[in-house]
Every structure is written in structure tokens, then in C-alpha cells.
Structure 1
């Protein structure tokens, strides 16, 4: 079985992006991401409505890293330390060498290729550092932009699950994408 150790925390970078640890001073941007009905439209989780909930989200990210149960990075543009999104591996199944990737970016950065670039980097980390065999992404079937990001990174649609999640009084479908380490 693979062993996971996120210590010391590793920043990742591309030509345009620096992925770093999410910190308490990112609260304003984390709140902007998680409280916006538009960015949360395809994420069946409650909206963050105040500073305490935003800080609790940051604390949860930290605790998962410290426990080697998941890892998230703040997506930043090189030369600007401001968080523009969050990306990471969670629901890690070491016994199956598999993890789920998740990401979100502030609306003003949509359509610029930044999520695609960040996913490529985090996939590389998953395969090369974590030694994963496969990475999955679970998205809302209506989230066409996210499907494009995944497809550009080589992910393949594996399943469309009907009404497999219950949120806000309704049953929602999920689409599962996956990428194997070849």
C-alpha cells in the first residue's frame, strides 16, 4: 500500500502559476470562493456565510494535510500572492493508489486556462510524488467548463451516476472522470 506524507509541504509552480499552502490571510478570497452562488453552483456543499465558516474551511484543509489525508493548494498567479482558487487531492484511497481531484477558481479567472494549468500540475504531483495509479474527478453533469478542463488533461468520462447525491432537498447526478498513470 502506498504511504502518504505531505510534510514538508511542497509548493508547485508552472510558467504562470504558484501553488502554495492555503493560509489564514486567504480568508477574504476563500470566503469569496465558497460564498458565491455562482462558483458553488456545481458543488453540493453549503455556502460559507461568515468569517468563522471561512476559517473553519482553512483549518479543515490544514488538518487534512497534517494528518496526510488530503492536500490542497492555493492557486496564485506568479508575482501576486493573492489566492484565486483552490485545488487538491482528497478522498485519497491509499489501498487503491487512487485519489479524487477537486478545484475551483474565482469567476474573474474563468476561461483563461488557469484551472487547466493547475490541474496538470496537481495530476503530475499525484502520479510522481504520491505514486497514485489513478485520479478521479466527480463533477456535476452540467459543469461543461470543468469537463473541458479535465478532458484537456487527458481525463476520460467513466460514468454518469443518476441521482446519487442528495443536497438541498433534491437528488443530483454526478459524472465521474478518471485518468490512469500510464
Structure 2
């Protein structure tokens, strides 16, 4: 399946309130904000230099296919307003995917994280053949843990002192969803 086929036939992913489409250059302001807003990154990662954010953005613009060695990055758009509100996606290695998502603070607590995660999980399993989907949450990020649990991810392991934010080491909570 080529990237052209994927884009023509599979995107955007849609839910009752959202659509998710591949990232384009015009999404730079959203991507930059998601990577610099303290309310977004506080429980995810340390602030990054601008050149690192730009590099990550450029990597996510690379056309994606199921055999790609890079992340599928989708922009989450609120359908009613056509407002980009976050990003989601996954990295697929054979039949195991690592999923991730970031939402702008005004859209936290509205169920958009759950709704977009369900759509991406369904896509990864039913369209590209993932059998296992993992997500890593920094210990203490209870909102992200709840989102994962609502989509039937289960805490599968804890990696002690796996990640540092602001010079403080945190455990990684690894959540797993296994396709039936």
C-alpha cells in the first residue's frame, strides 16, 4: 500500500466530533505550541531548543506507510469549528505500535483524547495490522492514564526512574492494548 493510497483511501480518520489527517507544513504553529506550552509538556518532556522542535516537525512531515520506520503523525481537528486541537499517531514496528498524543489545554477534559485514541487504535489494528499497542505515560500523569484506560489499555509494567523532567526522575507507566 503506498502513501498515496493511504492518504486517498484512509484519511482523514473521523469520529463524531473529530477528524484526523496527516500533518502538513501549515501545521507548524500548532506543533510549535504543543511543544512549548508548559501546560502541555509539563508531564511529558523538558522544554526543547527550537532547532530540535523544527527537526521533529520535519520528520513528521515525511510521507508514511505501514512499513515506514518513522511516526505517523496526524493532526486532530475539531469538526464543528475546523480548529486543529492536537496531534496523535503511532510508530509501527512489525505488529507492535507505540501510540502518542498531545492536546492543547483548552481541549483537555472534553473527551477528545479518548475519542482520538480510540480512532487511532482502531486504525492501527484494523487497517495496518498492529496486534499490540503500547503507550508510555510519565508517572503521575493521571489524565493520560485515564484516557488509556477508557480505551481498554492496561498498565502492563512500570519502568523505574526511566525518564527525567526538570532534573527529576520519574517512572514510566507502560500501558498495553492487545488486539483480540
Corresponding position of 1:132 = 130
Alpha-carbon spacing, 1:113–1:128, altered in 2? closer, same or farther (3 Å): same
Aligned residue for 2:68, secondary structure, equals coil
2:170 maps to which of 166, 169, 172: 172
Any stretches of 5+ residues in structure 2 without a counterpart? none
Corresponding position of 2:93 = 93
2:158 maps to which of 150, 157, 160: 160
1:31 Cα shift? 1.4
Corresponding position of 2:120 = 122
Maintained 8 Å contact 1:5/1:68: no
Aligned residue for 1:84, secondary structure, equals strand
1:54 Cα shift? 4.7
1:65 aligns with 2:64: yes
Question: TM-score normalised to the size of structure 2?
Answer: 0.87
Question: TM-score normalised to the size of structure 1?
Answer: 0.86
RMSD: 2.1
1:79 Cα shift? 4.1
Alpha-carbon spacing, 1:116–1:41, altered in 2? closer, same or farther (3 Å): same
Aligned residue for 1:176, secondary structure, equals strand
- Distance in 2 (alpha carbons) for counterparts of 1:33 and 1:54: 10
Aligned residue for 1:142, secondary structure, equals coil
1:13-33 Cα shifts (integer Å, max 9, x gaps): 011101011111112221111
1:150-169 Cα shifts (integer Å, max 9, x gaps): 00000000111111234554
Any stretches of 5+ residues in structure 1 without a counterpart? none
Task: Give 4+ residue runs of structure 1 displaced > 6 Å after superposition.
Answer: none
Corresponding position of 1:111 = 109
1:97-145 Cα shifts (integer Å, max 9, x gaps): 1111000100000000001000000000010011111100000111000
Alpha-carbon spacing, 1:5–1:179, altered in 2? closer, same or farther (3 Å): farther
Alpha-carbon spacing, 1:150–1:163, altered in 2? closer, same or farther (3 Å): same
1:24 aligns with 2:25: yes
